[in-house]
Amino acid sequence: MIIPSIKYMLEQTQRELCPLWQVVLQEEIRDRETTRDEIYRRLNVTYTAMKKAAESGISAQSRSISGMTGGDAAKYYSYARSGRSLLSELCSKAVSYALATSECNASMGVIVAAPTAGSAGIMPGAFIAAQEVFGFTDRDICNALLTAAGVGAVISEKASLAGAVCGCQAECGSAAAMTAAGICQLMGGSPEQCMDAGALALKNCLGLACDPVAGLVEVPCIKRNGMYTVFAINAADLALAGIRSFVPFDEVIDSMRRIGMDMSPCIRETGEGGLATTDTGKAAREKIFGKK
């Protein structure tokens, strides 16, 4: 699915007097030459996989093959349920499920790249939590997934979703933007508010390095997913309050691309900079892979 710009999506909602998810649905039907029913069937499969990954990560408490990560999702979930969390019920659940999904990925479980494996926990974390807290139907979530997919399609077209190209701003940043737009829609936001939510999320991730310790999608990736799912919810909340992004979403995406091109390769997923080159990071790499 190719969507040229956020502006195009908004213009379509105004022309057709329809929500964002409907614009994306029609684009997908045309692009794949498929039916509405088939798209919703695939969306249901996707969301079911997201829920299973989150549930697995909460209950399994398995450690990754590297031994660096695992068990934190269950630990935080238990803490959140104790009533001692500083966060709201929505945010504490979102963090739990985001961590769980990312730990599932690190333990070689089945996840949905949303939009990448490194950022796979952010969207399910927020969407599953929102469904539990506010009672949204699976169809509501599927429509939010469509809106999120539309945002992801624009970012992919105008910039990149790959950490190797634009750093983690393209992975966790894109996931946060996609999630913010989807959550804003679930809570009744207008198309313009949804896109402001996406812009607010992404522009505050600009310059985020991709610096995986030992070159593995674990540290800092897993905890970063937990952080950025709340970040996405916050961006949606600001937009729902009527706060606009001064810089239009399309221009934010363009800026992300330019910043990515200016980034040193050592902080674009190579594992050769940032946290990966701390004493602890280098020691972890030697322990797992041996000395170079």
First to last CA, the chain: 42
**What are the boundaries of each domain within the chain?**
6-289
Half-sphere exposure of 144 (CA within 13 A, CB side): 30
CA dist 59 to 62, 120, 256, Å?
9, 18, 37
Report the pLDDT value the prediction gives residue 265, as an integer from 0 to 100.
95
Report the pLDDT value the prediction gives residue 62, as an integer from 0 to 100.
77
The structure's pTM equals 0.97
6-289 fold: 2-methylcitrate dehydratase PrpD (1.10.4100)
Environment class of 89 (CB within 10 Å of its CB; exposed 0-12, middle 13-18, buried 19+): middle
From first to last of its 292 residues, the chain has per-residue pLDDT tens of 899 999 999 999 999 999 999 999 999 999 999 999 999 999 999 999 999 999 999 987 778 999 999 999 999 999 999 999 999 999 999 999 999 999 999 999 999 999 999 999 999 999 999 999 999 999 999 999 999 999 999 999 999 999 999 999 999 999 999 999 999 999 999 999 999 999 999 999 999 999 999 999 999 999 999 999 999 999 999 999 999 999 999 999 999 999 999 999 999 999 999 999 999 999 999 999 998 6
Instruction: Pull the structure tokens for residue 211.
Output: 């610096």
